Chains A and B, each alone.
Chain A
Amino acid sequence: MRRNIFALLIVIILMLAGCTAPAAPQVEITPVRLQLAWVPTIEYSPFYVAEANGLFAQEGLDVEFINGGFDENFAPIDQVARVVNGDADFGMATADRLLAARADGAPIVAIGALYQRTPIAFISLAEHGITKPQDFVGQDVFVDDVAGSSGLSYVAMMTNLGIDRSQINEIPRDDYSNEALLSGRVTVMSAFVNNQPVQLVEQGYEVNTILVSDYGVDIYANVIFTTEEMIANNPDLVERFLRASVAGIEAAISDPEKAAEITVAQSDELNLESETLSMLQALPLFNPAGTQVGMMNDSAWSLTADMMIEQGLLPADVDVQSAYTLEFLNLVYGE
């Protein structure tokens, strides 16, 4: 009897010890700043969803979103410079912008991509019967600066198709609204497939959309980048940030309506109905058949570099491979 009580006491003590001893390892919350390239829009929905669903928190991250676009003096925000200067830990940029910045000496590296396909398209009102790039001949086309993705995509697409651009009335882009198209000042302009066409269709216009990706032009529209220093010194943080971001893409595309709702909550400028439509159109951009979300591939990077070299935007001997790394994506996908 006495021995039984003694044994029981030991068991109880062990149980109590068991309850207190293996305290969960204290998760250290790391503050992370993400410099966006633009104001809140549906393309960033994976980040907002990751935040709302606690995916960043699961990785021990407290992410601060820093909007891009223009500063209070209406000067464009240089998101690459901000990351390089240490004002942010991660940034968003187009693939061509990143390659150009690296060529200028910025020590930045892409670690993943949100859209797997470029959203860049050329749109026209259906009444003009413009259904392919060849139809641009003889039209007034709003042309963007070749130093940006849209301008570069235009030039590359026309070059690929061997279309004589002298036959086209190219008007430098000076208006980013739909006004020029609707007023007839231009008949063709660049757009994002999940943005302006959606707006115009909503407004009751019939729109023809020509995707540059259908003509072999596909520039990553929003790569996640960080500094070489960060990758060298804090690879774990990079991996955690990318892991949560990839999970955010998965979560956003699995419930697009919810993703739109969460994104709209980020800004007073956004309208739920439009963003929902935009998100639905963005789904094949985020996750086209046969791809893994967040993934990048060598051919897309080299095609982009080739276009830029051809346009004299990059030196011919540029080291494309060093501009991006699949290391962290492979870690995220367990390869």
Chain B
Amino acid sequence: MTDKTLSEEELVALIGAYGADPEAWPEATRAAAGAALALPSPAVSEALAEARALDALLADLPEFRPPAGLAKRILADAPSPPRAAGGVWRRLKERALPGGQLWPAGAALASLVMGLLIGLNLPATSAGEADEDAEAAIYAALGVDTFGVSLDEELLR
């Protein structure tokens, strides 16, 4: 029903389907509704009166309100934000390579290798000394001052 003018029959049909308020009618028919409704017609008047009575009843009908907690339950089913890829490996990498820089880990590895090489190439005089030398090499590689430790041990004896 998109005609610019509405016949009495069309008007009664519109009222019968959508009620008495032209605001509830299809948009295309609203413009023509004002003029058509102004025309005297017992059939239209009767349809309007009946529709108004039903509209008033429908408007008073209480709304159905959703139960408490339904929104929360619906949101509990909603997708979660994606987890960052990598998990444990990524966290370890971040610790070992802060800011993605390689030099701290590289420097630690290089000093460990150098210390081990030096320690292993020292001549062993006795089993005890060899052990001490090896220990000293490892401590040196790890950056521990074994001389200071030895002094402390001497003082404690």
Q: Is B a genuine binding partner of A?
A: no
